[in-house]
Amino acid sequence: KGLMSDCTAPRTTTSSRHRHRASFLLINPNNCLAALESLKVCDLLMVVAPVSAHEPSSAVAKCLPTLKALGIPQTLLALRGLDEVKQAKKQEVKKAMLNIVANELQVPTDRIKNLPASSPSEFAEVVRQTFELRSEIPRWRSQRPYVLTHRSEIVADPNDDRFATVIVEGYVRGV
């Protein structure tokens, strides 16, 4: 609820049953550098796609080569608007969307989990699946720790102008 209201702040949810906490970082595909920085700390890439789309938007298509070079983590495809498709065509549409995303990301279709995401119960299933998916840690992350800064501040030392305290809030990965 309210996930899309503020795209600049991460959204966090917890599951006491699975003893997990998940933070959702919304990526603006128009800003490739921000998308790359966000993907560096992600364990899971969730692609939310409307079933009416037969190809990714130009911003997403521009951003994907950069993300592919870094290495794509475990991927979840959440399909919006699948409830508006006739029952006889649903399986065909799901397979077509899965193939589109797999081709764009250049990953095998078995590495992408495909789920509908239109109703509240389907959204709950998507969140449940994010908790149950096992993430694959990229090799480069174990060799190079990484910090994604959400907020930073520099506080000058009142006694000496040559010194300051740097306060950083964000995500640390790879340590």
Question: Where does residue 22 rank: exposed (0-12), middle (13-18), buried (19+ CB within 10 A)?
Answer: middle
- In whole angstroms, what is the distance from residue 12 CA to residue 173 CA? 17
What percent of the chain is predicted at pLDDT more than 70?
A: 78
Average pLDDT of the chain?
A: 78
* Higher pLDDT pick, 92 / 2: 92
The CA-based diameter of the chain, rounded to the nearest angstrom, is: 74
pLDDT value for 54 = 62
pLDDT in tens, 59-88: 666 776 666 666 677 788 888 888 888 888
- In whole angstroms, what is the distance from residue 103 CA to residue 115 CA? 18
Q: What's the pLDDT band for 37 if we cut at 50, 70, 90? A: confident
Q: How many CB atoms lie within 10 A of CB 138?
A: 19
Residue with tokens 């397979």: 95
Q: What is the mean pLDDT of residues 136-147?
A: 68
Q: With 60 as the cut, is the pLDDT of residue 1 above it?
A: no
Q: What is the pTM of this model?
A: 0.66
